[in-house]
Chain A
Amino acid sequence: MSPRIRVALLALSGLILLPCAASVIAGLPAFGSKIALYGARINAITPEARHVANMVSAINFDLRGLDTLGEEFMLLAAITGTVVLLRGHRGEGLTGRAMRRPGRAVIPRSEATVLACRIAGPLTCLFGLYVVLHATVTPGGGFQGGVILASGTLLIYLGEGYSGWRDAIHSHWLDALEGGGALVFALCGLVPMLTGAAFMQNILPLGTLRDLFSGGLMLVENLGVAMAVTGGFTQLFLEFMEETRQAEEPDEPGEESA
């Protein structure tokens, strides 16, 4: 199909769908006028029922916890697929040559960069931990905090170079972290069943509203999500960086183009 025909086909289908979209938009409630009843009920009931200040975390980890379990395994599946595709033919050597093109001059890191990364790296990780731990109190939670923690490890790469990064971060730990997080979340669903409660029923003491330790089982689930997201994203960064390193080893011809 030539590009011209394809664009024409797209324009045609767009023209057909435009009246449908317009009628749907006209049927929607005006922006900012009202919210759905389900959300309004959750806002009204949940602070008393679950002793949690952050409604979004309450929905993710308690009210719709089963959905988050599904999301968790989607995350696991996507990252497993990425790793399986990438980790094919290369070894585990630790040469410090990732992200570098053969013809380009190598500019050494300035001391200011190293200093800034050594200061900002721990601070970023600290902030990520803060976001993870305060999931039920202030904005934050395992998903956001996990990504922040994973990008904090990137500052190690920026400051210490690739070989330093590989020394600090081990792929097996990340596998364990990622799978362990998903396991913790699944166990949070199954363990209540041992006590006779329903799947993922909140059996731990709920704590007090606005306290760090409020929400009971939500805290454990949040920790599981944080572990899985941190491990998963760091694993992604690691495998992507490895991918750029591969072509510069001329040992086995034909290896890099497979």
Chain B
Amino acid sequence: MSAATNVLPYAVAAWLFGIGLYGIATSRNFIHLVGCLGVCQSATYVLLLGLGYRWGSIAPIFYDHPPGTPAVDPVMQALVLTDIVVGATLTALLLVLTVQAYKRGGSLNPEKLRPMRAGGKSGQSQGSSQVSDGGRQAS
């Protein structure tokens, strides 16, 4: 029990990262893929907070307890805290890219998405390719 508990958080972090990668590799839908990327992200949270934990310590907030009480590592918590909030905005950015890819390519399946080229486009209406040409030249 004890030996297993000693490595369990790190094993869980590795498992989450691995299954997230598996999901990304086998995904049939970009939105599902972004969710799998979120699982990979949560692996880093589990790893960092697992590294910063110590049995029998309090949270690093010395309001009820006097300063000097053994507390867990606050550096890891600060890292994870900002990562969660900034990671959410990055998830939003990826979702927007997904929606844009769907509009231009007509599919959410990574298998069916063709590389974007300046001139032709497979199976889209004429009007849309004209509109999107303007955006491409600007970029």
A21 to B22, CA, bound (A): 17
- Interface segment among A23-31, A117-125, A167-175: the answer is A23-31
Report yes or no: B85 in contact with A75, Cβ–Cβ below 8 A: yes
Known contacts A78-B90, A137-B63, A147-B85; is A44 also within 8 Å of B68 by CB?
Answer: yes
Report yes or no: B67 in contact with A48, Cβ–Cβ below 8 A: yes
A257 to B103, CA, bound (A): 6
| Total cross-chain contacts (CB, 8 A) | 171
Task: Collect the chain B residues with CB atoms within 8 Å of residue A48's CB.
Answer: 67
Task: With both chains docked as a complex, state the minimum distance between the C-beta of B16 and any C-beta of chain A, in angstroms.
Answer: 12
Task: Collect the chain A residues with CB atoms within 8 Å of residue B18's CB.
Answer: 14
A56 to B111, CA, bound (A): 44
Known contacts A36-B73, A75-B85, A85-B96; is A31 also within 8 Å of B5 by CB?
Answer: yes
Q: Within 8 Å of chain B (Cβ to Cβ): is A220?
A: no
Task: With both chains docked as a complex, state the minimum distance between the C-beta of A113 and any C-beta of chain B, in angstroms.
Answer: 26
Report yes or no: A55 in contact with B131, Cβ–Cβ below 8 A: no
Main secondary structure of the interface of A (DSSP, over half): helix
- A44-95, CB < 8 A from B: 44, 47-48, 53-56, 58-60, 64, 67-68, 71, 74-75, 78-79, 81-82, 85-86, 88-89
- B33-59, CB < 8 A from A: 50-55, 57, 59
Q: Which of B's residues lie within 8 Å of A, judged by CB?
A: 5-11, 14, 18, 21-22, 25-26, 50-55, 57, 59-63, 67-68, 71-78, 81-82, 84-86, 88-90, 92-93, 95-97, 99-100, 103, 111, 124-125, 127-128, 130-132, 135
Show 13 residue pairs from A and B whose CB-CB distance is below 8 angstroms, ordered by the A residue: A10-B22, A14-B18, A25-B14, A26-B7, A28-B7, A29-B51, A36-B51, A39-B72, A40-B73, A56-B81, A58-B74, A143-B84, A146-B85
